[in-house]
């Protein structure tokens, strides 16, 4: 039996040829990815390589700091090796080994393994690829507004989970605190912050108008690196101006304007605090935040207050969803765990379950 030949397209290629070409491109991508994460021996010796930290991007290049106030422009090449499989090749905050011997633009020979990270899943890709927003940092500063845009516990919980996944310490920053009295939900906001503190997450009330809390925040950030995360409009730029100084923040704003229309990660930048007493990583307002490789049965361990009730559940592997005899659900009914916090958990679980089914082809 003969198989009908594909109809030729106007460009002269058959659909079968196009399919094979696409498959070849995918195979070449896989090969390049494996090569990046395989041990290699460089022609240059280790003493020829300079250790640096990535501060920001400038178009196709990266700006790295080799020493305080000493920066160099560099780039990756096909043979750049990464110690971070299935993740962004280079991110702000990465420690890299660069080679200055070949040209005016230094070459990144190796990206060292990340100690900590704030990351998310690149949801535009079909594979499980980790998009790293910032690496080798200490804190995630979850910035919320006391008035407008509205205070959202769901966003706070989402970033807390991301921080814990990346081995970071989350802190909550309630900015525009001088406007808190204007919010009809002021009492709820105060109660939510008290609850977060009771389960181990500190909060700071800040105002760039009155300077409330700014000195306290500076003390926390001494010799540390923090990444600011939150929706647009919560006042991150104002905090940057106050913490880093007007000129540094203005430079960052101009850089963002020049990169308008590019991918969001290109606008992430690490800014030094005065006298290099620490660093602040500025991120754009992230509209969507899909956690990387989020497994449904692991989310319960990222809600720390659940742990003391876990052993009281009648089912050993209770997911705290609809199981009979669930001690966590009982704690919610008795107002020990706030309902809004439990609802965040349910939303996480449902999202992770959808992702799990999609990965195994269940939907």
Average pLDDT over residues 9-18: 55
pLDDT for 17 equals: 59
Report the DSSP pairing between strands 169-175 and 139-145.
parallel
User: Each residue of 312-331: pLDDT tens digit?
Assistant: 999 989 999 989 999 999 99
186-190: long-range contacts, CB 8 A cutoff, minimum separation 24? 186/146, 188/151, 189/146, 189/151
> Are the C-beta atoms of 96 and 108 separated by less than 8 Å?
yes
pLDDT in tens, 213-232: 999 999 999 999 999 988 88
Q: pTM value?
A: 0.79
Question: What is the DSSP annotation of 10-54?
Answer: TTS-BHHHHHHHHHHHHHHHHHHHHHHTS----SS-GGGEEEEEE
Contact between 86 and 128 under an 8 Å Cβ cutoff? The reply is yes
Euclidean distance between CA atoms 94 and 116, whole angstroms: 10
Q: Looking at residues 55-59, what average pLDDT do you find?
A: 88
Q: Which residues contact 258 (CB under 8 A, 6 or more apart)?
A: none
Average pLDDT over residues 254-271: 52
86-126: pLDDT as tens digits: 889 999 999 999 998 867 789 999 999 999 999 887 655 55
Between residues 265 and 146, which one has the greater pLDDT?
A: 146
Distance CA 32, CA 50 (A): 24
pLDDT of residue 304: 95
What is each CA distance from 249 to 14, 37, 238, 294, in whole angstroms? 54, 36, 9, 34
In this predicted structure, the answer to whether residue 34 has a pLDDT above a threshold of 90 is: no
């Amino acid at each position: 039996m003969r198989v009908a030949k594909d109809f030729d397209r106007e460009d002269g290629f058959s659909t079968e040829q196009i399919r094979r070409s696409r498959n070849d491109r995918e195979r070449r991508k896989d090969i390049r990815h494996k090569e990046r994460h395989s041990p290699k021996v460089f022609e240059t010796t280790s003493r020829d390589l300079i250790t640096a930290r990535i501060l920001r991007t400038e178009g196709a290049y990266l700006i790295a700091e080799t020493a305080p106030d000493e920066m160099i422009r560099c780039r990756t090449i096909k043979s750049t090796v990464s110690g971070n499989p299935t993740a962004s090749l280079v991110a702000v905050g990465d420690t890299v080994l660069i080679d200055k011997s070949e040209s005016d633009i230094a070459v990144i020979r190796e990206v060292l393994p990340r100690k900590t990270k704030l990351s998310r899943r690149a949801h535009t890709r079909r594979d499980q690829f980790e998009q790293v927003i910032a690496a080798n940092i200490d804190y995630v500063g979850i910035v919320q507004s006391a008035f407008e845009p509205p205070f959202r516990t769901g966003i706070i919980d989402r970033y807390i989970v991301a921080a814990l996944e990346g081995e970071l310490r989350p802190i909550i920053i309630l900015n525009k605190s001088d406007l808190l009295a204007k919010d009809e939900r002021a009492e709820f906001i105060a109660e939510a912050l008290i609850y977060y503190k009771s389960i181990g997450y500190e909060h700071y009330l800040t105002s760039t108008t009155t300077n409330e809390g700014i000195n306290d925040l500076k003390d926390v950030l001494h010799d540390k690196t923090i990444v600011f995360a939150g929706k647009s409009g919560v006042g991150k730029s104002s905090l940057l101006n106050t913490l880093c100084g007007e000129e540094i923040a203005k430079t960052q704003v101009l850089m963002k304007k020049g990169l308008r229309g590019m991918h969001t990660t290109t606008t992430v930048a690490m800014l030094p605090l005065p006298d290099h007493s620490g660093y602040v990583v500025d991120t754009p307002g992230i509209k969507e935040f899909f956690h990387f490789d989020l497994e449904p049965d692991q989310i319960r361990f990222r809600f720390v207050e659940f742990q003391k009730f876990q052993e009281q559940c009648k089912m050993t592997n209770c997911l705290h969803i609809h199981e009979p005899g669930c001690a966590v659900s009982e704690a919610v009914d008795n107002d020990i765990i706030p309902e809004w916090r439990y609802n965040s958990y349910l939303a996480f679980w449902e999202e992770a379950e959808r992702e799990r089914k999609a990965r195994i082809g269940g939907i």
